[in-house]
Structure 1
Amino acid sequence: MPSHQAFSRGFFRDRDLDYMTRVLLGRAAYGGSEVGDVLATIDRIEGRVDWRREWTRTARRARVSAESQRSRGDVVGAGRAYLRAATYWACVAEAYTEGDDHEGLLGAFHAHRACWDAFVDSFGGAHVRVDVPYEDTTLPGYLLRPDATGIPRPTLVLTNGSDGALSGLWSGGAAGALARGWNAFVYDGPGQQSMLLDRGVPFRPDWEAVLTPVVDALVARPDVDGERLVASGISQGGYWVPRALAYEHRFVAAVADPGVVDVSTRWMHAVGVSMRGMLDRGEREAFNRDMRIATLLPGLRRALAYRSRAYRSRDDWFDLFREVRTYALDDETVSRIATPLLVTNPEGEQFWPGQPERLAALLGDRAQLVDFTAAEGASLHCQPLARQLTDERVFGWLSAQLPGAAPGSEAPQGRASGVSGQASQG
């Protein structure tokens, strides 16, 4: 392979490692990584057994640099290094899968969160912690503001995916919001990060029970303009946000990056037609028997163990797959969505192929579908190597939805295809 064809040919033969490398490189756009760090680290990696060890080395080095700069009084430099360290520690934590010790996973996660908190604290009070009342506990959140003046601003509420770290949301929309004079709010919901790893709280499909308390907490604050709230769901958040919008109507507009109608389609690739029939017919014993055989394959066993840890029914294959099937938008739920929705549609979407188009079609004129292509370096799930391009299109559209926006500015830059099939050039 010619060395200049890494984008099209891949950095690793292992698709997961290749995708994670692209994500890490993409974080550099907003300071979440250093390109040299990423390339130098993967240069030492042959396969999965090396991944965690080498990223631990890189994470430790970034944290030492941050602490050294902080001790010298360079708050800005320290903050930037802490953000990179948080990214790298999150990368280490994501590498813990089946058979790994829980203490090791917790150690990497807590190192990540400590570095993230140090990054947040480096902004001189502009960024503040906000605990969101939720059932009998609270959700840990952070209101990231352009400055500490406390004036009311448009606020982007970012909902993460199934395994994303808060530091990933910095390049997933938060930095773009701050650059435009907006606030950004990031948080851990049920099954996400600290809620899962520290408190053992699993996912839930009815995300309106999560997002409504978030909105309640934000609109009560004087530094949030409650009339200019927008939302974005990243990865599996592309299901959770549309689901919540069916019942929570205080957002002016929202983004599904990418759009997801049925989370379980990703899981169903692991089973054949006959096993799907067993699920439909309620044949628990037969399904579990065949799953025990199927998971003799190390790759499938590892992937399912990783993906199942945040669900309530993780101890029984039949119950787990039946539960994941409830994470889907039915016709009644879609009919309740009134909020305008931008749906990203990256070429080569590998986790939920075809789902963005399906969501846009279900929503009709309530949605705008925006294509991202390999030719512009914006292919694959959540456009990992094109986060600035994503922000240009997303914020262009969101800005046009805010009260008082100038007419005629609705279309994002680049090729955007609405559900009517019409295309526009920016």
Structure 2
Amino acid sequence: MNTLFQNPLHERLGTWPLAYIPFGGADYGEVAAIAREIGDGDDGRFYDVWLRAADRVARDAAETLENGQRATAAALWQKASVFYATAYHPIYGAPLDPRLVAAQAKETAAFDKAMSLRDVPGEKLEIPLGDTILPGWLIRSTSHPNEVRPLLILNNGYDSTLSDIYYMAAASALARGYHCLIFDGPGQGSALVRNRVPMRADWEVVINAVIDVAVEQPGIDTARIALYGMSLGGYLAPRAASAEPRLAACIADPGLWSIVGGFRAQAVRLGIDPDALQQLSKVDDAILDKLQQYIESDRTMYWTIVQRGYWVHGVTNLRDYLRSAEAFTMEGRAASITCPMLLTHAEDDSLARGAASFYEALHGPKTLLRFSTEEGAGDHCEMGNRTLANRRILDWLDEVLA
């Protein structure tokens, strides 16, 4: 398989913008040029090259606006926000790297400028949740901005941003006539970086707060509110649907039963007795040490668990991470979902391995939508063919909400 980036972690994180090419979020030549310039460089090199590219696009946006081309400037600032977000991903973790904070601030500023320059400007939302405020945007349908329309709430995952969620699904949904609401929840985006709010398993509390704000906005068809979760959102969205009756439909991309399921399977492949893994957070120290050694031996796994996982969950060690992660499960909750559910299963996505059994556990209206490698959509969140994924998923949603 051909790769652009020499470092496997850089390949994983640096190629995400390729999924946004059909929607204007990147161009192949830009990403390929960035990969060549990074070469065999480290995470600092990755950050510097992506940041320079983002700054260049932002300068182009400012110059374009000075020439009176608002739509082009909006598109460029939105692309810049993707590049800024890509730059800081490899330097995730606590204590926060000042470079991450700076790039995230630039990402937010670029995205805000893009939203303000739309033909129908996005509307900035403040979503109260306990003693914090979650940032969000209401973006109205491109073709029917002043009409009462169904609302699609788009839910990020572990490390995606508002820029990601816009290009992954919002752009297509807006063109279909949906109003869209995007937000950073606990453990996500600026809620994590600026407000230091960690992830939580009881996502129904989060979506309850989001919908409370959404139904107060004009032009929202409150009988047709749908929730679409991607990556870890494939757990968060159905978890919310299990206790939020105002949802008319829910999409989990992929259908994700729990966080620790895949981790437990990997532990078995390491030769650990499955019976000892029923409660990962309570394994003995010898098993925990073996898991720790495995994580530290693999750069991508280290980033996934230690840099990202510890930081997002607000913990400092593996046992506490596993204890927190074990709460993220649909066990005992799947049967409570009453709205129509769509689960996706991409052929090569390890997180989607439990989608079929998740589907069987649902008692209400349900659909399992499979995507194949042959279609170029077999990877995580169908990132190789988001055009196909959006078409099929939104076709389903159109039918359900009709």
TM over 0.5: yes
Q: Using the TM superposition, name which of 132-141 and 163-172 deviates more.
A: 132-141
Q: Is the 8 A contact 1:139 1:195 kept in 2?
A: yes
Q: In 2, Cα distance between the equivalents of 1:193 and 1:363?
A: 31
* Structure 1 residues 249-268: Cα deviation after superposition (integer angstroms, max 9, x where no partner): 21111111111001112433
CA change 1:57–1:262 in 2 (3 A) is: same
Q: Is the 8 A contact 1:313 1:319 kept in 2?
A: no
What is the aligned partner in structure 1 of residue 336 from structure 2?
336
Q: CA deviation at 1:210?
A: 0.2
| 1:145 partner amino acid | R
Q: Is the 8 A contact 1:58 1:88 kept in 2?
A: yes
* Structure 1 residues 52-98: Cα deviation after superposition (integer angstroms, max 9, x where no partner): 22212211111111111122221111111101110100000212145
SS in 1 for 2:243: coil
Q: CA deviation at 1:196?
A: 0.7
What is the aligned partner in structure 2 of residue 393 from structure 1?
392
The number of residues matched between the two structures is 394
* Structure 1 residues 346-374: Cα deviation after superposition (integer angstroms, max 9, x where no partner): 11003x14122222122256221111111
Q: Is the 8 A contact 2:338 2:364 kept in 1?
A: no
Q: Is the 8 A contact 2:256 2:352 kept in 1?
A: no
Indicate which of 176, 181, 191 corresponds to 1:180.
176
Q: In 1, Cα distance between the equivalents of 2:206 and 2:366?
A: 23
CA change 1:102–1:284 in 2 (3 A) is: farther
| 2:29 partner amino acid | G
Q: Is the 8 A contact 2:58 2:110 kept in 1?
A: yes
| 1:169 partner amino acid | I
What is the aligned partner in structure 2 of residue 302 from structure 1?
303
* Structure 1 residues 114-136: Cα deviation after superposition (integer angstroms, max 9, x where no partner): 11111101114531011112112
Q: CA deviation at 1:270?
A: 5.9
Structure 2 alignment gaps of length 5 or more: none
Q: Is the 8 A contact 1:360 1:369 kept in 2?
A: yes
RMSD: 2.4
What is the aligned partner in structure 2 of residue 153 from structure 1?
149
Q: Is the 8 A contact 1:17 1:48 kept in 2?
A: no
SS in 1 for 2:181: strand
Q: In 2, Cα distance between the equivalents of 1:146 and 1:281?
A: 45
1:88 aligns with 2:83: yes
Indicate which of 114, 123, 127 corresponds to 1:128.
123
What is the aligned partner in structure 1 of residue 382 from structure 2?
383
What is the aligned partner in structure 1 of residue 20 from structure 2?
27
TM-score, with structure 1 as normaliser: 0.86
What is the aligned partner in structure 2 of residue 325 from structure 1?
326
1:196 aligns with 2:192: yes
Structure 1 alignment gaps of length 5 or more: 1-7, 406-426
1:222 aligns with 2:218: yes
Q: In 1, Cα distance between the equivalents of 2:231 and 2:46?
A: 23
TM-score, with structure 2 as normaliser: 0.91
Q: Is the 8 A contact 2:94 2:311 kept in 1?
A: no
Matches within 5 A, 1:328-367: 328-330=329-331, 332-350=332-350, 352-363=351-362, 366-367=365-366
What is the aligned partner in structure 1 of residue 233 from structure 2?
237
SS in 1 for 2:91: coil
Q: In 1, Cα distance between the equivalents of 2:381 and 2:36?
A: 25
CA change 1:292–1:182 in 2 (3 A) is: closer
What is the aligned partner in structure 2 of residue 315 from structure 1?
316
Q: In 1, Cα distance between the equivalents of 2:2 and 2:26?
A: 22
Identity, % of aligned pairs? 26
Q: CA deviation at 1:315?
A: 1.4
Q: CA deviation at 1:29?
A: 1.1
1:167 aligns with 2:163: yes
Q: In 2, Cα distance between the equivalents of 1:100 and 1:363?
A: 40
| 2:91 partner amino acid | Y
